[in-house]
Amino acid sequence: MKLKSIVFAMLLSALACSFCFAEEVKEPWTIYGVDSPMTKLMSSYYKIEDIKVVSVGQDMHHPDDVAVCLYLANATGVNVFKIRDMRIKAQSWMVIMETIKFNPTNLFTDVKTFTVPSEYTHAYREFQKWRANGSYKVTLYDKEVRNLVMLKFMADRFRFSPISIMQKRTDGETFTDMIQQQLNKDKTDNTEKGN
């Protein structure tokens, strides 16, 4: 009886912790609508029709999974809907990358420092192990795959410093919010230039 009480208390404690550290995530279909700026941005960057971005976005549980699907399809030539279908079946990104023969070390953005903000520490530790021993098998969590793909996108598309993006993520800022802020800034800058 006492063991059951202890196990129950541990489960309640774990559940409470998961709520404390849970990241607020907007539903992808609210971000990737037909006329959404995010849809247009991803569509032009990954050179895929808007409707395909919307379709992928409607089926994902996390908005950054949409970018991972688009990135992997673009990098490998595998149909984006095949990748989406694997993800919908709850396959991890590591399993999906192995299935489509994509080396996860290609996800990394080169940073000119030995220390990275904590949100990226495990991933870059894995990358350093692979660099030291090319036969080392890099293992990443789904959240790390999303973070690496979006880091690559943000650094390339908006020319942000990778370390500043990493720091914002570590501080709790979502990629969706960072992108929206940049789009608003670009819109304001373009309006001011037009005056």
Residue 148 burial (CB count, 10 A) = 23
What CA–CA distance (Å, rounded) separates 123 from 169?
14
Q: What pLDDT score does 7 carry?
A: 40
Look up residue 18 and give its two tokens. Answer: 């998961």
- Per-residue pLDDT tens over the stretch 36-78: 888 999 999 999 999 999 999 888 888 899 999 999 999 999 9
Q: Is residue 27 part of a domain?
A: no
Examine the pLDDT at 191 and tell me if it is beyond 80: no
Q: Is residue 106 part of a domain?
A: yes
Q: Is residue 15 part of a domain?
A: no
Q: Is residue 187 part of a domain?
A: no
Q: Is residue 17 part of a domain?
A: no
Return the closest-CA partner of residue 30 out of 57, 64, 50: 57
Q: Is residue 142 part of a domain?
A: yes
Q: Is residue 169 part of a domain?
A: yes
What CA–CA distance (Å, rounded) separates 195 from 190?
9
Residue 7 C-alpha from the chain's centroid:
34
Which whole number is the average pLDDT over 175-184? 90
Say whether pTM exceeds 0.85.
Answer: no
Residues 6+ apart with CB under 8 A from 87: 60, 65, 68, 69, 93, 96
Residue 29 C-alpha from the chain's centroid:
16
2 pLDDT tier (thresholds 50, 70, 90): low
95 contacts 140 by C-beta, under 8 angstroms: no
- Per-residue pLDDT tens over the stretch 112-157: 877 899 999 999 999 999 999 999 999 999 999 999 999 999 999 9
Q: Is residue 67 part of a domain?
A: yes
Structural domain count of the chain: 1
Q: Which residues form the domain of 151? A: 36-180
